[in-house]
Structure formats: structure tokens, C-alpha cells
Amino acid sequence: GIQVEQSPPDLILQEGANSTLRCNFSDSVNNLQWFHQNPWGQLINLFYIPSGTKQNGRLSATTVATERYSLLYISSSQTTDSGVYFCAVRSGSYQLTFGKGTKLSVIP
């Protein structure tokens, strides 16, 4: 099946800093999503982005499908951005596969 690698596994930021999270995948995809899970377990889906670029407030994402990676940008980070960011991909009709996540800690 498709392999998904997220980096870095852990990231500590000072409030106000910017960050880039990466998701590499091993095959062509027809579905790529970014999710955020806060420290209390609540999930939010951030972007559906199998290709191209999207922006939503301080967050933006870019997927370069031909090079098999996606980037999630967080600008002016806030403590509420803390949690785990997951990338999930699907290739064809195969299972939606999640990466292991990047744990982000934003400190005041």
C-alpha cells in the first residue's frame, strides 16, 4: 500500500513563529487531506488538497502531486495551534492512509 511520511515528528515553536509541516507519499493520489487534533482529542479537517494550493486564514497548504509531497504552512502560530497534524492520502480505491502525524507545541 501507499506509504505516508510526515516530518518533523515533533516541533516546538514560540508563539508568533511560522512553521512548515511536510507530508511525503509514495504513489500518485486522488485524495489528500490535512487534519488537526487538539490536545483534548478533537479533530478538525483543515484542507482537502490533492493538488494545488489553498489558504484559510493563517493556514495554507500546497500539494505538488507530481513530486509526491504536500506542505502545511502555519503562520504567526498561536497556542491554540498546538496538537497533532495528520496528513491522509488515498491512491485509487485503496484505503485512506494516515501519516503518524506531527506533534506541534506552541509555547507562549
Partner 1 sequence: GAVVSQHPSWVICKSGTSVKIECRSLDFQATTMFWYRQFPKQSLMLMATSNEGSKATYEQGVEKDKFLINHASLTLSTLTVTSAHPEDSSFYICSASESASLVDEQYFGPGTRLTVT
Neighbours of 49 (CB within 10 A): 21
Q: Which of 8, 51, 76, 96 binds partner 1 (CB under 8 A)?
A: 96
Q: Can residue 43 be called a binding residue for partner 1 (CB under 8 A)?
A: yes
Shortest reach from residue 93's CB to partner 1, in Å: 9
Strand order in the sheet with 19-25: 4-7, 19-25, 69-74, 59-64, 52-56
Q: Where does this chain touch partner 1 (CB under 8 A) — which range of 13-21, 40-48, 60-68, 71-79?
A: 40-48
Is the bond preceding 39 in cis, omega lying within 30 degrees of 0?
no
| Centroid of chain to Cα 104 | 11
Q: Can residue 80 be called a binding residue for partner 1 (CB under 8 A)?
A: no
C-alpha to C-alpha distance for 32 and 87, rounded to whole angstroms: 7
Q: Can residue 101 be called a binding residue for partner 1 (CB under 8 A)?
A: yes
Pair type for strands 10-14 and 52-56: unpaired
Q: Which of 8, 9, 48, 64 binds partner 1 (CB under 8 A)?
A: 48
Q: How many residues bind partner 1 (CB under 8 A)?
A: 18
Q: Can residue 69 be called a binding residue for partner 1 (CB under 8 A)?
A: no
Binding footprint of partner 1 on the chain (CB under 8 A): 31, 33, 35, 41-45, 48, 86, 88, 94-96, 98-101
